[in-house]
Amino acid sequence: MEHITLLLAIVIVTALVFDFTNGFHDTANAMATTISTGAMKPKTAVAMSAVLNLVGAFLSVEVAKTISSGIVDEAGITPEVIFAALVGAILWNLLTWLVGLPSSSSHALMGGLIGATVASVGFSSVNGGTVITKVLIPAIAAPLVAGLAGYIGTRLTYRIGRNTDLKATDKGYKAGQIASAGLVSLAHGTNDAQKTMGVITLALVAGDILAPGSNPPMWVIVSAGVAIALGTYLGGWRIIRTMGKGLTDLQPQQGFAAQTSAATVILASSNLGFSLSTTHSCSGAVMGAGLGRKGGVVRWSTATRMFVAWGLTLPAAGLVAAASEFVTKQGDWGVAAVAVFLVASSAAIWVVSRRQVVDHTNVNDVDDDTTGTGGTGSSGDGQDSPGVVTTAMAAVTPPPAGVVEDGELKTTIPSTTPASAPSAPETGPASPAAV
């Protein structure tokens, strides 16, 4: 029992470390567009987001119950399994943070939990129906729904304000953007802090501390909320840069529409008990808002790298967790070896990140690399040329009445009557005019 108690303590601490990484990894979801448009100063933005994440942790436990008793069967799950799952999730969070890619901390946790469970007791302990209905389907639907909402919201915002001076209304849109960013932060705390609550509750059930099906105790709710708030306050500046400047350039109108759309999707899913990725929702809303403004550019090179990271999250975290579970099953030395590996890998990632520091002082500075983290496909001024989808969306949008601004796409329809006849070649008869 003493060994189990010590192992449980290790699992709980590791879960709170994951919650901490979740906080700074996902700060961009709430504050990237607010910072990139200048609506708030970077440090002020992350401080507000941290407080609201803490408040959001107390609003619901539906997602926590999905994690603790929905994805895997509690019977046969040991603290070692949960520890291995957390190792896979933490390392994937840190790797994607290092390269500045917004990936899903939620799916990293799900993948780690599934991989460790399969390695321990086989596929029979994974509830496939729950994984499909409450993880995979929302993962696909969330960016599409949020993107469509962001696109429609942006179109409506510009249409409603088409007869007003946009510069004069920027202050009002920025105020609305701050409010919507606060709503996203509250939604993030409601959704993501509960995932850690669910993992700790699952560990307590596995250690015979709680009965199966129990709700998270109050100390679990408080500790998870504080951990994610502290992580949020640190600010994941690399991912904030990608989300705010790397995907598209947003104006306050677009930022307001994107954040409001994302918050609506996240809060609705939390109340339904769906373990939704806030990263997928916010990224989809940002891209939708980018396409919603005529002439807006979505940098598809950055978006493609992000999509690849999304697809790799579940299997990558699952493989690391499965390998960790294989080692932890060897006994106490296996648990110690995995713990040392986690600490050493995390330290190595941190050392590498110091070679190119991104913080609140330079988060909006974009050089010849759009994301500032080694991407490709940008021009020398940090701007991508419009891709196929962006060009198509802009081409079918009717031009507004009045003067067409410079930089917008134009189409020239040739006249049926030539303005001037081409010079005839020096040899041979002149060609007849084309009808």
Q: At 68, is the pLDDT very low, low, confident or very high (cuts 50, 70, 90)?
A: low
SS3 72: strand
Residues comprising the chain, all counted = 435
Question: Are 237 and 98 in contact, with CB atoms under 8 Å apart?
Answer: no
- Angle subtended by helix axes 332-353 and 2-36, to nearest 10: 20
Asked whether 105 and 280 are in contact (CB, 8 A), the reply is no
The pLDDT tens digits of the residues spanning 275-295 come to 667 888 888 999 998 888 887
Q: What is the pLDDT of residues 376-435, one digit of tens each?
A: 333 334 444 444 444 544 554 444 444 444 444 444 455 554 444 444 444 444 444 444
At residue 293, φ and ψ (nearest 5 deg) are -90, 130
Q: How many helices (H) and strands (E) does the chain have?
A: 15, 0
Q: Are 61 and 271 in contact (CB under 8 A)?
A: no
User: Rounded to whole angstroms, how far apart are CA atoms 308 and 301?
Assistant: 11
Dump pLDDT digits (tens) for 201-250: 888 887 888 887 778 888 988 998 999 999 888 878 888 888 877 788 88
Q: Alpha helices of 235-373 — where are they, by DSSP H?
A: 237-241, 252-272, 278-292, 300-328, 332-353
CA separation (Å) from 31 to 137, 309, 366? 26, 21, 17
* pLDDT, greater one: 91 or 373: 91
Q: Whole-prediction pTM value?
A: 0.77
Q: Per-residue pLDDT for 103 more than 50?
A: yes
Mean pLDDT confidence for 91-114 = 90
The stretch 52-61 carries a mean pLDDT of 81
Residue-level pLDDT at 66: 58
The pair of structure tokens assigned to 248 is 């598209």
Contact 115, 317 (CB under 8 A): yes
Q: How far is it, in rounded angstroms, from Cα 251 to Cα 3?
A: 56
Task: Return d(Cα 140, Cα 122) in angstroms, integer.
Answer: 26
